[in-house]
Structure 1
Amino acid sequence: MTTALDLSPVSGPSAWRGDQLAGSTEWIYRLGDAELAELEAVGRRFLADDPDLRTVTADDYPLPACAGLTEECARQMDSGRGFILVRGLRTEEYGDALAGAVFFIMGLHLGTPMKQNEVGDVLDHVIATSNKTLDDPTALPSRVRDRLPFHSDSSDVVALMCLRAAKDGGSSSLVSGTTIYNEVLRRRPDLAPLLFEPWHWDWYRQDHDAPAKTYASPICSYVDGIFSTYAGMSMIFSAQDYPEIPRLTEDQITLLHLFDEISQQPGLALDMDFQPGDVQWLLNYAALHSRTGYVDFPEPERRRHLLRLWLKRDVGRPLVPGFGKNVVKARGEEREEAVKEGGRFRIADAVVPNFDWGN
């Protein structure tokens, strides 16, 4: 394994710009009739079987007609742009339980579900459960309506299924980590090496039940010619709230502000307006994600509502030791599946948000 720094621009399909992709549909995979029919049929069998979400496997629910879909999603995440949007599911006709079943099955064929909180949930929700804003230190980013800063999630893959869109706003925004790095290198080559050093991240702000306040990870990894990014500058800054964490240096602060400034540079990000049934698959090491602020419909049942999966995708991607939120375990990697009571491990329960979470 070669981890020596090579401070030169990184090329390849992951080094994209949003303004170059916005006018095309090459990043959208539209389901064919046979694929749609298979996903719906297998989803209904999943509902009838009602398996435990902690133990069910892809082999239990094969998808032969969707082999091309699975291969293309895998290819784009592993060696392509780092993301793909799958369109064509008729979720408004299904009901949330069937939609969630289809989503979960697709995920099983692309990786191993990971628990997303300390009650062990492997299917979680992005939905506003209160009127808090991110200025409130008790607010959870997935449960407010604010615009989110660009960040990486705590997994190899993060996937989102849109059940219901917002009344206004709420676009999903992606930006290439490779492109950001190249621009940092162009502007401030003297600061770029700091990206490969460990940083302290706020764990509590991401999960109030987390067993520790912080964890540590570099922002960039470059191993055997494979470049990866793990970012979330707001989580690095909020970790400074804890007196036991070393203070950021002036150069580190300058670099974090520069990274965030570049991520918001016009033309860099790709914004996509989710339609009900859209499924976005994203490799966290290739692209950062965000969303625009949004306005909900007044009726609670019409709130913007996304289902979220975190997947461990073990395809041998080389990473420096301790990269990313490595403290999070994949399903099955620890025997105490639920540290606290309250986890939802049947699909009909799992698709119903816990409205107490994040309040």
Structure 2
Amino acid sequence: MTTAIDLSPISGPSAWRGDELVNSTEWIYQLSDAERTELEELGRRFVADDPDLRTVTAADYPLSACVGLNEECARQMDSGRGFILVRGLHTEEYGDTLAAAIFYVMGLHLGVPMKQNEMGDVLDHVIATSNKTLDDPSALPSRVRDRLPFHSDSSDVVALMCLRAARAGGASSLVSGTTIYNEILRRRPDLAPLLFEPFHWDWYKQDHDAPAKTYESPICSYVDGIFSTYAGTSMIFSAQDYPEVPRLTEAQIELLHLYDEVAQAPGLALDMDFQPGDVQWLLNYAALHSRTGYVDFPEPQRRRHLLRLWLKRDVGRPLVEGFGKNVVTERGTEAAVAGGRFRIAEAAEPNFEWGN
């Protein structure tokens, strides 16, 4: 394994720009009638079977019509742009439980679901549960309406299904980690090597039940010619709130500010307005994600609501040791803790007692 840093621009399909993709539909996969019908049938069987979400497997719900869909999603994540949007599910007609079942079956065929909190939940929700803002240290990013900074999640793959869109705003924003790196290297080659050195990240801010306040990871990995990204500068800065964490150097601070500046540069990001039924698949090592701030409908049942999966996916990607939040574990019977939701009907309902 070679981990030497080659400070030269990275090329390939993962080095995209939003202003080059925004007027195309090449990143959208439109379901055929046969594919949609198969997913609906599998979802209904999943609801009727009511399997334990911690132990059910893809083999229990085999695909035939959707083999091509699965292969294209895998190809785009593993060796393409790093993301794909699947469109064509009629979630408004299904109800949340059936929609969640379809989403979970799709996820089983692309990886192994991972727990997303210390209760062991393997299906989580992105929905505002209070009027808190990110200025409040007790607020969780997935449970507020603020614009989020670009970041990576704690998994190989993060997937979102839109059940209901916001009244206004709430676009999903993606940006290429490869393009960010190339631009930093172009602007400040003296700072670029710092991307490959470890930083302390705020774990508590991401999960108030986390077993430690922080963890360590570099922002970039370059192993055997494969470039990967794990980012979220706000989590690095907030880790400075803990006195036991080493202070950032002036050069590190300058780099983090530059990273945010580049990520938000006009033309880099691709904004997509989620429609009900849209499913976004994203490889965390290839692209960062965010969302714009949004306004909810006044009726609670109409508020913006996304389902979220974290997947462990073996794509044969070499990474430096300790890259990302690698301590997050896969689902399993050991995740059976008080408050966890492991049946599809209960998992399809947001836990309003958590994350408020």
Q: Report the TM-score when normalising by structure 2.
A: 0.99
Aligned residues: 356
Name the residue aligned to 1:202. Answer: 202
Deviations 1:258-305 (A, max 9, x none): 000000000000000000000000000000000000000000000100
Deviations 1:68-96 (A, max 9, x none): 00000000000000000000000000000
Name the residue aligned to 2:156. Answer: 156
**SS of residue paired to 1:65:** coil
**SS of residue paired to 1:3:** coil
Name the residue aligned to 1:347. Answer: 344
Name the residue aligned to 2:5. Answer: 5
Name the residue aligned to 1:358. Answer: 355
Name the residue aligned to 1:336. Answer: 334
Cα distance, 1:203 vs structure 2: 0.3
Question: Structure 1 runs of 4+ off > 6 angstroms?
Answer: none
Q: Which amino acid aligns with 1:344?
A: R
Whole-angstrom distance in 1 between the partners of 2:223 and 2:209: 33
Name the residue aligned to 1:32. Answer: 32
User: In the TM superposition, what are the counterparts of 1:180-191 in structure 2 within 5 Å?
Assistant: 180-191=180-191
Name the residue aligned to 2:140. Answer: 140
Cα distance, 1:355 vs structure 2: 1.0
Name the residue aligned to 1:114. Answer: 114
Q: Are 1:45 and 2:45 an aligned pair?
A: yes
Whole-angstrom distance in 2 between the partners of 1:314 and 1:56: 18
User: In the TM superposition, what are the counterparts of 1:217-296 in structure 2 within 5 Å?
Assistant: 217-296=217-296
**SS of residue paired to 1:154:** coil
**SS of residue paired to 2:335:** coil
Identity of aligned residues (%): 85
Name the residue aligned to 1:322. Answer: 322
Deviations 1:229-273 (A, max 9, x none): 000000000000000000000000000000000000000000000
Whole-angstrom distance in 2 between the partners of 1:94 and 1:188: 51
**SS of residue paired to 1:336:** helix
Cα distance, 1:330 vs structure 2: 1.3
**SS of residue paired to 1:56:** coil
Whole-angstrom distance in 2 between the partners of 1:315 and 1:30: 24
**SS of residue paired to 1:134:** coil
**SS of residue paired to 2:162:** strand
Whole-angstrom distance in 2 between the partners of 1:303 and 1:110: 29
Deviations 1:111-153 (A, max 9, x none): 0000000000000000000000000000000000000000000
Q: Which amino acid aligns with 2:7?
A: L
Name the residue aligned to 1:170. Answer: 170
Q: Report the TM-score when normalising by structure 1.
A: 0.99
Cα distance, 1:331 vs structure 2: 1.6
Q: Which amino acid aligns with 1:305?
A: H
Name the residue aligned to 2:100. Answer: 100
Whole-angstrom distance in 1 between the partners of 2:211 and 2:331: 17
What's the C-alpha RMSD, in Å, of the aligned pairs? Answer: 0.6
Cα distance, 1:336 vs structure 2: 2.2
**SS of residue paired to 1:290:** strand
Cα distance, 1:356 vs structure 2: 1.8
Name the residue aligned to 2:313. Answer: 313
Whole-angstrom distance in 2 between the partners of 1:293 and 1:108: 31
Q: Are 1:83 and 2:93 an aligned pair?
A: no
Q: Which amino acid aligns with 1:273?
A: D
Unaligned residue ranges in structure 2 (runs of 5+): none
Whole-angstrom distance in 2 between the partners of 1:356 and 1:131: 14
